[in-house]
Structure 1
Amino acid sequence: MAHRELDELDKKILSIICENARIPFLEVARECDVSGAAIHQRIQRLINMGVIKGSEFILNPASLGYETCGFVGVFLKKASLFHSVVDELNKIPEVVEVHYTTGKYAMFLKVYAKNNRHLLSIIHDQFQNIEGISSTETIISMEEAYSKQPPIK
């Protein structure tokens, strides 16, 4: 995807809505000293340009009983199996991110599990049964220090 040129108003709008996606457009307009209609049009343009992919509520996995966060490096039998493996991984609700990577692993996954035993079950009973995965390596996160959006420059 090509880089999009943003003006100062776009950057200010993005900074505000990244802090609170539920902020009313009229409040954004007041902070930016423009009309509500201008904010609505700008945000729609940013969506159409692909700068904004959507808005979402961010769930706290631990509050839902997912105490373990694991990162799994996946080795594929053949690189050409990537898409079929992705399709199978997408069927596993605990797999929340899948990245096609360079380096040691063909793919890198983020997985939430109820506990370590549940994570082991996901790896042994589900990942290892996916045609195309030759092996995996798992790293367990002890704590997420922070997560943030990319800088708006």
Structure 2
Amino acid sequence: MNTPDYLDQAVNIDKLDEKILKLITQNARIPFLEVARECGVSGAAIHQRVQRLQNIGVVSGSEFIVTPQKLGYNTCAYMGIHLEKAKFHTQVVEALRAIPEVVECHFTTGQYAIFIKIQTKTNKHLKHIIDNYLQEIEGIARTETFMSLEMDFKRQVPIK
């Protein structure tokens, strides 16, 4: 399968694109007319620029971010996964995708083949997920779990 070019290399964006990106990544709900006023261009120009940024893969979609703790998900853990063999990667990832509490999954270099983030309501809930789901996945040789005590910050990549 061919990977789209925009996933392989950085694209060229100008100062106006950078300013637009800074504004819309700080507030995805900001009206284009407000972005236009801040940038000194028309609303139509902003709409065209954002559409172009989407088309070339610089930005995708918009989303509301759920605060897990507000929904009772108070335990955050990261898990390094060792595979029995590299060939199990695809089937393990598909099995992980079926577990809603697994919120991130990364194919990595180094000690682990896969690194995941798990968000659960309690430590007991986490243990249940590990015992009844993760340890049942064919192809996983062993795991190592790291508990997050607190997230200090999370951010987007810097816009020049």
The two structures share one fold, judged by TM-score above 0.5: yes
Measure, in 2, the Cα distance between the counterparts of 1:30 and 1:89.
45
Counterpart of 1:96, as a letter, is V
1:80 is displaced (CA, Å) by 1.4
1:54 is displaced (CA, Å) by 1.5
Name the structure 1 match of 2:80.
Answer: 73
Measure, in 2, the Cα distance between the counterparts of 1:12 and 1:49.
17
Measure, in 2, the Cα distance between the counterparts of 1:84 and 1:6.
38
Measure, in 2, the Cα distance between the counterparts of 1:65 and 1:94.
12
Is the counterpart of residue 57 in structure 1 residue 64 in structure 2?
yes
1:83 is displaced (CA, Å) by 1.1
Counterpart of 1:29, as a letter, is A
Using structure 1 for the length normalisation, give the TM-score: 0.98
- Of the three residues 89, 104, 109, the one matched with 2:96 is 89
**Unaligned stretches of 5+ residues in structure 1:** none
CA RMSD after TM alignment = 0.6
Using structure 2 for the length normalisation, give the TM-score: 0.94
Counterpart of 1:125, as a letter, is N
Give the number of aligned pairs: 153
Give per-residue Cα distances to partners, 1:28-72, cap 9 Å, x unaligned.
Answer: 000000000000000000000000022110000000110000000
Is the counterpart of residue 141 in structure 1 residue 148 in structure 2?
yes
Measure, in 2, the Cα distance between the counterparts of 1:152 and 1:83.
33
Sequence identity, in percent?
A: 57
1:142 is displaced (CA, Å) by 0.4
Counterpart of 1:94, as a letter, is E
**Unaligned stretches of 5+ residues in structure 2:** 1-6
